[in-house]
A and B are shown apart, each in its own frame.
Chain A
Amino acid sequence: EVQLLDSGGGLVWPGGSLRLSCAASGFSFSSYAMSWVRQAPGKGLEWVSSISISGGNTYYADDVKGRFTISRDNSKNTVYLQMNSLRVEDTAVYYCAKDEGPHDSWGQGTRVSVSS
């Protein structure tokens, strides 16, 4: 059974940093791209970032480019999202998702709140 376990969310001041993790199991992690998708309170889904199988290619939404960094460790079956210079508008539930689309598996989400 495919499982994606998101973690690392929390409450942070504007300008602060957080690192999200997503631990994968139940499939050949090193054979799939991975993505992060977020959902602000009461809003729709927004793609954030994706990373290729090897990690050599990374892609970002314009809103987070230059502030967020996606990475992966295939030896640990884990994908990360380093979030720096956080803004109030980054407040959301962050989901990791298998592949670059379509996403047939999702994590349960981890909540990030940016507030003073």
Chain B
Amino acid sequence: IVLTQSPGTLSLSSGERATLSCRASQSVPANYLAWYQQKPGQAPRLLISGASSRATGIPDRFSGSGSGTDFTLTISRLDPEDFTVYYCQQYGMSLSFGGGTKVEI
């Protein structure tokens, strides 16, 4: 399954809402879609699994939605620490990652 993330770069300000898209080339089985945040020089951190379940310790400003082939990660109010790169991953049929979305100031 090929995942396409858009936009490639999102330019926003602190306090604004961010909407990131992840589109799959075919339906993701059981909506097994995850979102990760990655800061420079660090390993990725799991934010969302099963399309909409927040991982342990993730602030509630992060939310996931969608099903089938179209998924969205929403950050309701951007905090300065949220300006970094985000990846989606499907784990329903083998594993694959999207190309990433950079959220910049």
Contacts and interface: CB of A to CB of B under 8 A. Distances in A.
Contacts of A46: 97
A41 interface: no
Interface residues of A, number: 18
Interface string A49-60: 010000000010
Interface string A84-116: 000000000001000011111011110000000
Interface stretch (B10-18, B66-74, B86-94): B86-94
Nearest to A109: B43
A101 B43 contact: no
- Size class of the B contact interface (CB-based, 8 Å): 20 to 34
B91 A44 contact: no
Contacts of B94: 47, 59
A100 B90 CA distance: 10
A45 interface: yes
B22 interface: no
Contacts of A101: 32, 34, 89-91, 95
A104 B56 contact: yes
A35 interface: yes
A95 B50 CA distance: 22
B97 A107 contact: no
A44 B45 CA distance: 14
Nearest to B98: A44
Contacts of A107: 43
A108 B96 CA distance: 20
A104 B91 CA distance: 13
Nearest to A105: B46
Interface of A: 35, 37, 44-47, 50, 59, 95, 100-104, 106-109
